[in-house]
Amino acid sequence: AVEDALDPRHLPKMENYGDTLFVVARTVHLEDGNGGTRIAYGNTAIFLGRQFIITVRHGSMRSHAPIRQQLEATPWLLKHGPDYVLHAILDFIVDGYFEVIDLVEEQVLVMEDQALESFLNREQTARLFTLRRDLFRVTRSLGPMQDLANRFVNIELPQIDIEIDPYFRDLADQVRRVNYRVAGLRDTLTSVIETSVLLEQQRQGVITQQLAAWAAILA
* 204 phi, psi to nearest 5 deg: -65, -35
pLDDT at residue 212, as a whole number: 73
pLDDT band at 161 (very low <50, low <70, confident <90, very high): confident
Rounded CA gap, 154 and 108, in Å? Answer: 36
Question: For residue 65, is pLDDT > 70?
Answer: yes
Rounded CA gap, 96 and 24, in Å? Answer: 15
> What value does the mean pLDDT take over residues 58-75?
87
pLDDT band at 11 (very low <50, low <70, confident <90, very high): confident
Query: Is this structure's pTM higher than 0.95?
Result: no
Question: For residue 4, is pLDDT > 80?
Answer: yes
Least confident window among 69-73, 125-129, 194-198: 194-198
What is the helix (H) or strand (E) element at residue 190, kind and residue range?
helix 165-218
pLDDT cut 90: percent of the chain above it: 25
pLDDT at residue 192, as a whole number: 74
- Classify burial at 148, counting beta carbons within 10 Å of its beta carbon; exposed 0-12, middle 13-18, buried 19 or more: buried
pLDDT at residue 207, as a whole number: 63
Question: For residue 118, is pLDDT > 70?
Answer: no
Q: What angle do CA 160, 180, 185 make, to 5 degrees?
A: 140
